[in-house]
Homo-oligomer: A and B are copies of this chain.
């Protein structure tokens, strides 16, 4: 089956399985049933088995999944066996938090450069990084061959920054700006707008 033929909803669950497996592995466990994994992630065992079966035969009747093996397979499928260099654009509070975030470690990402367009911020340090001028984005990304970016600029600036990133070869954008981005085919965007996340839930409140 070709990569693009797998429904995106299935792909979206694989990182959640991977995260849970790594936690269980850290407890020293060797195997896990789809039932137990399901309880960990709040997804049915049947759904997990169906999702994973799209990519191969990873489990055994009776013993379940070998955790190390399945972690390796999921990292391979998600292409996070090695760390992707990532740029962060926009050094407000959220950009700062991402530049210093410890949670990319071992999950396939490494912040490589950070940018802002504010002359007062350019040249300042954030953690181990020196903030670079957004005017340098194109050249810096092309030279480094970077494919992944996080956008934390205000909504009004987000599309222009996105255009710069895409022009320079970025193919995956994690967008914190509260706006839908327009990107060409072949470029992926994921949205992390906290108000959207909250509004999805207030719908259900009594």
Contact = CB atoms under 8 A, between A and B. Distances in A.
A195 B14 contact: no
Interface string A168-206: 000111100011101000001011111111111111111
A121 interface: no
A28 interface: no
Nearest to A39: B182
Contacts of A23: 155, 179
Interface string A4-22: 1000100110111011100
A192 B197 contact: yes
Contacts of A178: 19, 103, 107
Interface of A: 3-4, 8, 11-12, 14-16, 18-20, 23, 39-42, 77-80, 84, 86, 92-94, 96-98, 100-101, 103-104, 107-109, 147-148, 150, 155, 171-174, 178-180, 182, 188, 190-206
